[in-house]
Structure 1
């Protein structure tokens, strides 16, 4: 049988509950996301750790809107507050007083209307750098949960999912090899799959251990 080569096919991230990979590092976060009694929640974790996937699970259960914090404007608050809202990457508005004021009003109005609010960021809320005191105090007092660094089993599952999202089928020895070579983070997993996908497509080579070794040694000759 001829070896499978990469093709430039549409990349679809699977963000349904059924696609979420549960492990000790994220089980508590998932439980809080799925708890219907949680009307406000601060979700933190490193880049690529699954925060966006969890936000989509949360939003699907509550028919909520999802938007980046940097897109929030005060004139949109009354309309947004008619339902539940997930606001991603809140620390990015730390230097934007107008956006922080809009979030302060959204925070109060969403809860007053009986809806729910989810806020996400890389670090814990006390380190978000928010300068509006009333907003910062509300967020730091809200229930919070963090997604932790993945173990080998979860990292392997995430790599497999990232390849599948790109409609790629790596050789069976590739993922164990990558886990030994890469940084232990979801962000690193996403970056390495993207690099391998692009290189495989450009060179018309199958996704194998030997191909990955050649690529990674070329990028970082000192790595073993």
Structure 2
């Protein structure tokens, strides 16, 4: 790490909870009632839409309910014989970021096999993805058919007041109180889509840590100007 790099004060200790999730209420409600989920659920949304938060919250809920489950990242399923090594009697299988195997013949076959395994063993399968189940990036017709066969939950990107509220919560979680003047400044001068605000949060968190100063409107203006000057 060079001297200009500063580790971000990101708090990874607090568990992700459904109650902390802002927006997309119908999606949150469906996942939080996990007992009523169908055999297959496809959760998708663009980057920064909250997929990881919701999958982690579902993980925690299943754990607290003492449900036998397994969670995998898609890069772990490239082995088409993985189904032969799954624990017996699991009730839920959660797979993050399945879009990473889209257009990969081996990965798609492995995912197809996992779907069929879960169906045959009465195990509910919940996956997350940054692409739609109808995307033409899915090359295997039989797999695409199965990806569209269950409950599809689509996440809408936050914007406006909801996005600002979410960012304010993230600053608070990382020990950086956000004054109302800063929130007002961001609301009236900046793009309030969540994807933009999240990147701004990363920059401002680093700046606050580096300077060891409270986050104020002048500091926000300086950080934005420095960023624009570096472009």
Displacement after TM superposition at 1:31 (Å):
2.0
Alpha-carbon distance between aligned partners in 2 of 1:217 and 1:190, rounded to the nearest angstrom? 17
The corresponding residue for 2:3 is none
The CA RMSD measured in Å over matched residues stands at 2.5
Q: Does 1:141 align with 2:139?
A: no
The corresponding residue for 1:74 is 80
Displacement after TM superposition at 1:47 (Å):
1.1
Which of 160, 172, 197 is residue 205 of structure 2 equivalent to?
A: 197
Alpha-carbon distance between aligned partners in 2 of 1:208 and 1:170, rounded to the nearest angstrom? 8
The corresponding residue for 1:16 is 17
Displacement after TM superposition at 1:105 (Å):
0.9
Alpha-carbon distance between aligned partners in 1 of 2:136 and 2:172, rounded to the nearest angstrom? 34
The corresponding residue for 1:102 is 110
Maintained 8 Å contact 2:45/2:129: yes
SS in 1 for 2:128: strand
Distance 1:77 1:189, change over 3 A: farther
SS in 1 for 2:43: strand
The corresponding residue for 2:58 is 58
Displacement after TM superposition at 1:163 (Å):
0.8
Deviation per CA, 1:57-108, whole angstroms, max 9, x where unpaired?
Answer: 2233334333221221333323446421221221211132111111111111
Maintained 8 Å contact 1:74/1:102: yes
Displacement after TM superposition at 1:143 (Å):
1.7
The corresponding residue for 1:34 is 32
Alpha-carbon distance between aligned partners in 2 of 1:69 and 1:31, rounded to the nearest angstrom? 25
Displacement after TM superposition at 1:130 (Å):
1.6
Maintained 8 Å contact 1:155/1:179: no
Displacement after TM superposition at 1:197 (Å):
1.1
Report the TM-score, using the length of structure 2 for normalisation: 0.81
Deviation per CA, 1:110-149, whole angstroms, max 9, x where unpaired?
Answer: 1221121112122321116121221111102222021112
- Higher RCO (C-alpha under 8 Å, 6+ residues apart): 1
Alpha-carbon distance between aligned partners in 1 of 2:53 and 2:213, rounded to the nearest angstrom? 31
Gaps spanning 5+ residues in structure 1: where?
1-6
Say which is worse superposed, 190-199 or 145-154, in terms of deviation. 145-154
Say which is worse superposed, 132-141 or 180-189, in terms of deviation. 180-189
The corresponding residue for 1:122 is 130
Maintained 8 Å contact 2:43/2:127: yes
